[in-house]
Amino acid sequence: MINIEKHWYDVVVIGAGGAGLRAAIEARLAGKKVAIISKSLFGKAHTVMAEGGAAAAMGNVNSNDNWMVHFRDTMRGGKFLNNYRMAELHAKEAPERIWELETYGALFDRTKDGKISQRNFGGHEYPRLAHVGDRTGLELIRTLQQKIVSLQQEDKVQHGDYQARLRVFAECTITELLLDETGGTKRIAGAFGYHRESGEFVLFEAPAVVLATGGVGRSYKVTSNSWEYTGDGHALALRAGAKLINMEFLQFHPTGMVWPPSVRGILVTESVRGDGGVLKNSEGKRFMFEYVPDVFRKQYAETPEEADRWYTDPDNNRRPPELLPRDEVARAINSEVKAGRGTKAGGVYLDIASRRPAAEILKKLPSMYHQFKELADVDITAQPMEVGPTCHYVMGGVEVDPDTASAGVLGLYAAGEVSGGMHGSNRLGGNSLSDLLVFGKRAGEYAASYTDTLGKRPKVDDKQVAAAVEEALTPLARDGGENPYTLQSDLQDVMGDLVGIIRRKGELQESLSRLSELRERIRKVGATGGRRYNPGWHLALDLRNMLVVSECTAKAALEREESRGGHTREDFPKMDAKWRQVNLVCALTPDGDVDLTHQPIPTMTPDLLALFDKSELAKYMTDKELS
């Protein structure tokens, strides 16, 4: 008999990054009994790794900033494929979410007159990123955790138990969502998973689940993402009947470490460029001036002199091209390396040493200084860094209602990186931390209010639980199965080689046939050893998630015959206004295959359209739309 630990909650939040914690706080404030589940240790999520800051139009450093400018920048960054309503809510609510963090105990860096300081970042017209040196994510997570502890202390006073209404289950992986399908309507009934340390199974009965599981970057070898990011939330949503949108759009951050090979992909924050760093090729040329696309020409400097003046006089000069949106900079670096002007390790140079005094670099970029000193023996106050593109962020994700974060299945919500739409085809740096605060709060609020509408709680179906147990145990029962590490490496090769930063029809077709072979092999994955802390078994279970999410990305990338944001087709190098009107949507067929369909994107309301010049809209929209 398999033993299953059972719990009963109103709202289960899967993921303890910023989105998950913010959702959990909101649901608990609404009086609900809430579980927070995290695959990794509590406090270790991508959110904690965020360096540069959280974008919010507070106007503290340049009073011209406001939500409308932020909205415009976000839409431009996403090349107008964003869900406009999400971009609007995000731009309007981000400042309040940042200020609220300070009421929870956060302390952001200050301007001379004591306001929250804001720094420049790519694609943001004004200094907009609230930050704490280059360790902003750490402060964000620390503060949200502190708020959770303070709520638990209230619960201790009221109910005699710290965990009465808010409990954290760390190192616990959810492998399946459970549905009540009585009456032909799918409703969330709970979630099933295992404790990583003991291998024991655990069942959470709950009518509402918030997915806040972050990204998918481990499907690539060169990535800034850590081991947990295997697209679990994306895959859980698909299997529960929700849809994914925009999966072709992956952000390759322009600056990951390229040397030494063991640390290839680790992020070099955009703040280095925001604070004055410039990109140079192996000939010493500052090359970004050659790569300003027409749609951005008006906003970016044409000469190094103008670009350098901008740091001290932004009102009378245009921005340096190093601060173009990330997709543009990543493609430019890729082109320089391909043209033979890269470094020996296949990157370019990022130089802040010759541009800022050592003391300033140490003060503003302490983590970067230590990262390079310890991992590459490079002193960034004296030498340039070597950098190149690294898989960083997925713009695609679970299709959600913009206001409620509902994922289209009753009781299922999604927020943060796992959700799609907000960032369109490309995310601006800093917009993720604010996104997860804005939509994390909304997801928690609406998940809680959904549970108020229920007459009867949905019922967990024992057959689904038995199937989840069997699925989880199969790799352990298989003798001589495929090795999970080999499978992961093969999958990463397919994605890196054939569905990477520059894509071509033939290669994408090949990727789909290689993924289909991998699908068969993953069905035969085996893991040696038992259930007690067994990373090989854990990876074996993650692989089916990585596979289905990769299939969505490859299928959508083959279908979208244009280049836009985080999707570049060598055979269709231009943006096409007709494709701007289309979201590619992935769902699962009853057999578990990925079904891809076209869906029109919501039309922007006239008041929001009026925020743009018609001449700018003409660069993105069809004549019919404009008329």
Chain residues in the site for ligand FAD (CB under 6 A)? 14-20, 37-40, 45-47, 49-54, 136-137, 173-174, 212-214, 224-225, 228, 232-233, 267, 393, 416-418, 429-433, 436
94 annotated as a binding-site residue: no
Nearer to ligand FAD, 52 or 59 (CB): 52
- Residue of closest CB approach to ligand FAD: 17
Expressed in angstroms, the distance from the first to the final Cα of the chain is: 67
353 annotated as a binding-site residue: no
Nearer to ligand FAD, 237 or 495 (CB): 237
Q: What's the min distance (Å) between Cβ of 517 and ligand FAD? A: 25
Q: What's the min distance (Å) between Cβ of 20 and ligand FAD? A: 6
Backbone region of residue 276 per phi and psi (left: phi > 0; alpha: psi in -120 to 50; beta: other values):
left
3-state secondary structure 177-237: EEEECHHHCCEEEEEEEEECCCCCEEEEECCEEEECCCCCHHHCCCECCCCCCCCHHHHHH
45 annotated as a binding-site residue: yes
As given in the structure block, the two tokens for residue 35 are: 């579980």
Query: Residue 155 in contact with residue 147, Cβ under 8 Å?
Result: no
> Residue 45 phi/psi, 5° resolution?
-150, 170
61 annotated as a binding-site residue: no
Q: What's the min distance (Å) between Cβ of 19 and ligand FAD? A: 3
What does the DSSP 8-state code read for residue 123?
A: T
How is 416-467 classified by DSSP, letter by letter?
Answer: GGGB-STTTTSPPTTHHHHHHHHHHHHHHHHHHHHHHT-SS-----HHHHHH
Catalytic site residue from 187, 326, 331, 569: 326
560 in active site: no
Q: What's the min distance (Å) between Cβ of 290 and ligand FAD? A: 27
Of all helices (H) and strands (E), which one includes residue 397? strand 397-398
Nearer to ligand FAD, 233 or 458 (CB): 233
Torsion of CA 522, 527, 531, 534, to 10 degrees: -100
Nearer to ligand FAD, 209 or 621 (CB): 209
Q: What's the min distance (Å) between Cβ of 620 and ligand FAD? A: 24
Nearer to ligand FAD, 148 or 301 (CB): 148
19 annotated as a binding-site residue: yes
Query: Residue 367 in contact with residue 325, Cβ under 8 Å?
Result: no
Q: What's the min distance (Å) between Cβ of 480 and ligand FAD? A: 27
Nearer to ligand FAD, 27 or 45 (CB): 45
131 annotated as a binding-site residue: no
Q: Which long-range contacts (CB under 8 A, 24 or more apart) does 225-230 make?
A: 225/46, 225/391, 225/392, 226/40, 226/46, 226/49, 228/39, 228/40, 228/45, 229/46, 230/542, 230/543, 230/545, 230/546
38 annotated as a binding-site residue: yes
Known binding-site residue numbers for FAD:
15-20, 38-53, 232, 417, 432-433
Active site residues: 326
Known binding-site residue numbers for substrate:
253, 269, 392, 427
Known binding-site residue numbers:
15-20, 38-53, 232, 253, 269, 392, 417, 427, 432-433
